[in-house]
Amino acid sequence: MKLSMPLTYAGNPRETADQLAGLEKAGLDRIWVAEPYGFDSPTLMGYLAAKTETVEIAAGILNIYSRTPGALLQTAAGLDNVSGGRAVIGLGASGPQVIEGFHGLPYDKPLGRTREILDMLRRGLRREALTSDGIYKIPLPADQGLGLGKPLKLLNKPERADVPLWVAALGSKNVEMTAECADGWLPFLFHPDKAKDVWGEAIAAGVAKRAPELGPLQISAGGMVAIGEDVKGMLDFMRPMYALYVGGMGARGKNFYNELACQYGYEKEAKEIQDLYLGGNKRDAEAKVPLEWLEAGNLVGPASYVKERIAAFQEAGCTELSVIPASDDPAATVAQVKEWIS
């Protein structure tokens, strides 16, 4: 099992990024860099690449709307070069709140776009001409452009032709496509004890169509890590994030995370959280996040309990444990967990 963590920061990401060298020495295998509607991932990833030597630098995630396939190809190849072959590209459709509310773009055809981009990136990294006859018309037909376009291949030779491509997905059709086409899957707000009930059939269907050269599907999930006899109260620090996504990341009927909570069996709580959050009562919404979900999706408690949760993530098919150390010495926490999963 690999060990990773998201780059979390409040205000200035350099303060966290500058700690990464110590985490790398402690055994961290990969750092995931998100961008929802904050600083862009590639800039921070390049900064991290210059600060580290062995840790993999992963985008988690780049949305598939605000960059063209060509721009995503340039980013994948460029980051892999400056990191010396340590780049991982996480892709995803994000959601209407970010795509429409921040980027000002229509949220349409997420499944088809993701599948198409995965194919184009793989061909582009092999320095084949970037072409598509699907959603993305590359090159543009003569009657839609100036008639000057022709298929082009990436100008530079990529560091690797097989930069790992991961996909963040929640819906069954998207998860099935991910299991078929992507190197890895990034679920969110993962509940390892309920994962097979929610996604088992979709993953099995996708894996059945998976090309052998892709190898086994990789899965990264996890949560906060706090090890001790009296640390359960730390779970309350996760409530705002759960409430934000279940309650506020989308409108009624268009919130993927609210739907996920319902799939986990928390229909009553999902409705209450959304009603309260959209009504401006964020603190009350946070209080409604089920403790059972927080306990299952995080690793907070005595060492024996944390080890049990690690086993639960492994049993759910996770090949990588993604942790958020909640301690005064994050590097020591990383080293301890690394020892347990090695």
Total number of domains constituting the chain: 1
Q: pLDDT over 90 for what percent of the chain?
A: 91
Q: What is the pLDDT of residue 9?
A: 75
Mean pLDDT of 115-140: 96
Q: What is the pLDDT of residue 56?
A: 98
Residue 293 domain-assigned (yes or no): no
Residue 42 domain-assigned (yes or no): yes
Residues 160-163: contacts with CB under 8 Å, at least 24 apart? 160/80, 160/85, 160/125, 161/125, 161/126, 161/127, 162/122, 162/125, 163/76, 163/77, 163/80, 163/87, 163/88, 163/89, 163/121, 163/125
Per-residue pLDDT of 2-17, as tens digits, reads: 999 999 877 788 887 8
Residue 15: helix, strand or coil by DSSP?
helix
Is 250's pLDDT higher than 90?
no
Cis geometry, peptide bond prior to residue 139 (ω within 30 degrees of 0): yes
Residue 213 domain-assigned (yes or no): yes
Confidence of residue 103 (pLDDT cuts 50, 70, 90): very high
Strand runs (DSSP E) across 83-163, as ranges?
87-92, 132-133, 137-138
Residue 295 domain-assigned (yes or no): no
201 in Cβ contact with 301 (< 8 Å): no
Residue 229, amino acid: E
CATH of the domain at 154: 3.20.20.30
Residue 72 domain-assigned (yes or no): yes
Mean pLDDT of 124-129: 98
Q: What is the pLDDT of residue 143?
A: 84
Confidence of residue 34 (pLDDT cuts 50, 70, 90): very high
Is 303's pLDDT higher than 90?
yes
Q: What is the pLDDT of residue 142?
A: 81
**Tokens, residue 336:** 């301890």
Residue 54 domain-assigned (yes or no): yes
Is 60's pLDDT higher than 90?
yes
Residue 28 domain-assigned (yes or no): yes
Sign of the alpha-carbon dihedral angle for 62, 63, 67, 70: positive
DSSP 227-265: ESSS-GGGGGGGHHHHHIIIIISS-TT--HHHHHHHHTT
Give the range of the structural domain holding residue 167, as residue numbers without chain letter.
2-225+300-341
Is 277's pLDDT higher than 80?
yes
**Tokens, residue 150:** 């022709």
Mean pLDDT of 41-59: 96
Per-residue pLDDT of 307-327, as tens digits, reads: 999 999 999 999 999 999 999
d(CA 237, CA 8): 13
Confidence of residue 148 (pLDDT cuts 50, 70, 90): confident
Burial of 68: CB neighbours in 10 Å, binned 0-12, 13-18, 19+ = middle
The phi and psi torsions of 64 (rounded to 5 degrees) equal: -90, 5
- Tell me the average pLDDT of the chain: 96
d(CA 305, CA 236): 18
**Tokens, residue 287:** 């209080």
Q: What is the pLDDT of residue 201?
A: 98
Mean pLDDT of 99-119: 97
Is 149's pLDDT higher than 90?
no
What pTM was estimated for this model as a whole? 0.96
Residue 234 domain-assigned (yes or no): no
Q: What is the pLDDT of residue 106?
A: 96
